[in-house]
Amino acid sequence: MLDAAPIRSDWTREEAEEIYNQPFMDLLFQAQSVHRQHYDPNQVQKSKLLSIKTGGCAEDCAYCSQSARNGAKLSASKLIEVERVIAEARKAKEGGATRYCMGAAWRSPKERDMPALEAMVEGVKALGMETCMTLGMLEEDQVFRLRDAGLDYYNHNIDTSERYYKEIITTRTFADRIDTLNKVREAGIKVCSGGIVGMGEQQLDRIDMMLALATLDVHPDSVPVNMLIPIADTPLADVAKLDPIEFVRTVALARILMPKSHVRLSAGRTDMSDELQAMCFFAGANSIFVGDTLLTADNPEEDKDQVLFDKLGITAMAVGCDGSHG
């Protein structure tokens, strides 16, 4: 076994560009070599998402079905009942998911919602699952309360490069996002942060997005890489499709820059072939969302994923595998 590559937060733009643009076979070989230093290459972690509050969001994220400012016709719901969340989490656990991620279409949570959110974390944690929430921006006291309830992970995506961000969202800044990530990290909650590719960005934006995550003092523990799911009536509904090879290059860059992080092949799998997903796993992706719905959009059915896992000889990763293998 080769010595493990060092974990670095001082990557330069030049290094990242060189990694991303090297011949594809060299890139895949490098990514898979780094992957094997930290993880069993035949294991993939399964997370399950649940939308606990859908639609009617005040933010203007151009990709999102849930923004009240977009033309998308999704009606707004209230925060769902704690008991329903726990019942759904139990089903997800029976289906093999180890992490339960609860998402709300909010700019940030309100004080009146905090007791229910804390109860959801406590209830899901008591099932023996890892807990994750994605609720928008957080104040420091909210971070502490969720941590004390047992929150393991907080998801908050930077979404794209700092340069392209302004084209996608105007109602909060890239710096706001980094600020929330820092609060979460400082409180001792694990960070889940990634972004979306295929939003009409340049190659350099994909590189800079990964560089922004990889130059945080501590890398995110999970890095979701989403392929844009184009949503009818949103500003990105008709954006040109990205070459899938560029998507694989982005996954490989994430793996090489952040060797110990779980890199999640996230949104967009419904439109990906088995071969493309297999290539993403080879490039170092080792986590997926399972179940036929993400938050509002489609995801492959569980049995379809099981067929893929069987074909590839992939098994589900147990709770708590953190890149310290090898």
Is 264 an active-site residue?
Answer: yes
Amino acid at 265: L
Note whether 155 binds ligand DTB by CB under 6 A: yes
Query: Which of 99, 101, 177, 269 is an active site residue?
Result: 101
For residues 195 and 259, which CB has a smaller minimum distance to ligand SF4 in the complex?
195
CB distance 96 to 303 below 8 Å: no
Helix (H, G, I), strand (E, B) or coil at 92: helix
- 132 annotated active-site: yes
Q: Which of 99, 132, 145, 255 is catalytic?
A: 132
Q: Is 168 in the site for ligand SF4 (CB under 6 A)?
A: no
Least distance to ligand SF4 from the beta carbon of 74, Å? Answer: 10
Find the catalytic residue in 172, 249, 264, 269.
Answer: 264
Q: Which residues pair with 134 in a beta bridge?
A: 103
Q: Select from 151, 229, 257, 258 the one that contacts ligand DTB (CB under 6 A).
A: 229
CA-nearest of 28, 50, 98, 66 to 249 is: 28
Contact (CB, 8 A) for 32 and 283: yes
User: Under 8 Å CB-to-CB from 288, ≥6 apart: which residues?
Assistant: 44, 45, 46, 47, 264, 265, 266, 269, 305
Q: Is 294 in the site for ligand SF4 (CB under 6 A)?
A: no
Instruction: Supply the minimum distance, in Å, between the C-beta of residue 179 and ligand SAM.
Output: 13
Minimal distance, residue 272 CB to ligand DTB, in Å = 14
User: x/- site string to ligand DTB, residues 91 to 120, per CB under 6 A?
Assistant: ----------x-x-----------------
Residue selected from 266, 277, 286, 287 as contacting ligand DTB according to rule CB under 6 A: 266
Q: Is residue 55 a contact residue for ligand DTB (CB under 6 A)?
A: no
- According to DSSP, residue 159 is labeled B
| 296 lies in the binding site for ligand DTB (CB under 6 A) | yes
How far is Cα 253 from Cα 239, in angstroms, rounded to an integer? 23
- Active-site annotation holds for 64: yes
Burial of residue 125 (CB within 10 Å: 0-12, 13-18, 19+) is middle
Residue 234 Cα distances to 170, 173, 238, 292, angstroms: 15, 20, 9, 22
The residues that touch ligand SF4, with contacts defined as CB under 6 A, are 57, 59, 61, 64, 66-67, 105, 136
The residues that touch ligand DTB, with contacts defined as CB under 6 A, are 49, 65, 101, 103, 134, 155, 157, 194, 224, 226, 229, 266-267, 294-297
